Amino acid sequence: MSNVLTICKRELSGYFGTPIAYVFLAIFVFLSGIFAFYIGNFFDGGQADLQSFFQFHPWLYLFLIPALAMRLWAEERRAGTIELLLTLPVTMVQAVVGKFLAAWVFTALALVLTFPLWITVNYLGDPDNGVVLASYLGSLLMAGAFLAIGSCISALTRNQVIAFVVSGVVCLGFVLSGFPLVLEFVDALAPAIIVDAVRSFSFLTHFQAISKGVLQAGDIIYFVSLIVFWLYVNAVVIEWRKAA
C-alpha cells in the first residue's frame, strides 16, 4: 500500500508542478457553473436542486477526463521515464493503481471546488441534500470509470493526442449506449433482452439512477467492476510492453 501511495504522491506533485492542473481545475469549475446555471436553465426551473448541474457531467467528463488521462502512460513512454518507473521496487499493479488514484484524487478535488454550487442552492431553497451527496458520489464513480478507460488507452500509445481521441471515442460508446435515440434504434432491430443489455452498459443509465438519490448495489458494482476491469487490462498492456 505504501508503494501505491508513493506513486500517487509522485503523480499528484507532477500535476501541480505545471500550470496544467490549475488550468484544468479552472475550466472544470467554470464549465460546471455555465452548464448548471445557463445551459441547464437553473433559474427557470423554479426548483432548488443540482439536477441541472449533474445532468451534464457525462458530457463534461467526455472531454475533460480523457484530456487528464491521456498523459498517465503516454507521457511516460514519450519521455522514456517508464523504464525508470518499472525498475523501481513496485509491482505493475501498484504502479497502475497509484497513477490511477492520483488522477482520481485530482478529479475529486475538481468536484470539491464546485461546492459553492451546493451552498448556493441551499441558500436559495431547501434541496434534498441526500440526493445531492449521492449525485456527487455517482459522479466520482463515473469519473473513475472514465479515468480507468483513459489510463488503459494511454498505455497503448506514446502519442497523447491519439490517447485522447481514442479514449474519447471509447467513452462516448459507453455514454451513448444509454442514450434514448440509440436505445430506440436498437429496439427497432433487436429483442428487448438486447436493448436491456445495451442499456446496462451505459454510464448514463447507472449515473442517472444514482443521481436520483437511489444508491443501489448494482449501480455501484457496475462502476467499480468497470474500473477494476480496465485497470487490469492496463496492467496487462504495460506488462506486454515491458516484455516486448
**N-term to C-term CA, the chain:** 28
Judge contact between 211 and 220, C-beta under 8 A: no
What number of helices (H) and strands (E) belong to the chain?
Answer: 15, 0
| pLDDT tens digits, 98-115 | 889 999 999 999 999 988
Among residues 82, 83, 113, which one has the least CA distance to residue 99? 82
pLDDT score of 122: 79
Q: How far is CA 227 from CA 103, 109, 147, in A?
A: 13, 19, 8
The parent domain of residue 33 ranges over 2-243
Among residues 139, 140, 137, 170, which one has the least CA distance to residue 152? 170
For 101, other C-beta atoms within 10 Å of its C-beta total: 19
Question: Would you tell me the crossing angle of helices 92-112 and 71-79 to the nearest 10 degrees?
Answer: 130
Among residues 161, 159, 158, 146, which one has the least CA distance to residue 230? 146
Q: Maximum CA pair distance of the chain?
A: 59
Distance CA 90, CA 6 (A): 10
Distance CA 231, CA 225 (A): 10
Number of structural domains in the chain = 1
Which grid coordinates are listed for 168?
A: 474519447
**Beta carbons within 8 Å of 204's beta carbon, 6+ residues apart:** 58, 175, 177, 178, 179
For 225, other C-beta atoms within 10 Å of its C-beta total: 11
DSSP secondary-structure letter at 147? H
| pLDDT tens digits, 196-244 | 777 777 888 888 888 887 788 888 999 999 999 999 999 888 877 666 6
pLDDT score of 81: 63
Distance CA 94, CA 201 (A): 27
Distance CA 64, CA 233 (A): 22
Write out the H or E segment, with its range, that includes residue 80.
none
Q: How far is CA 112 from CA 28, 80, 86, 172, in A?
A: 11, 34, 33, 25
List of the chain residues with pLDDT < 50: none
Among residues 8, 15, 10, which one has the least CA distance to residue 101? 8
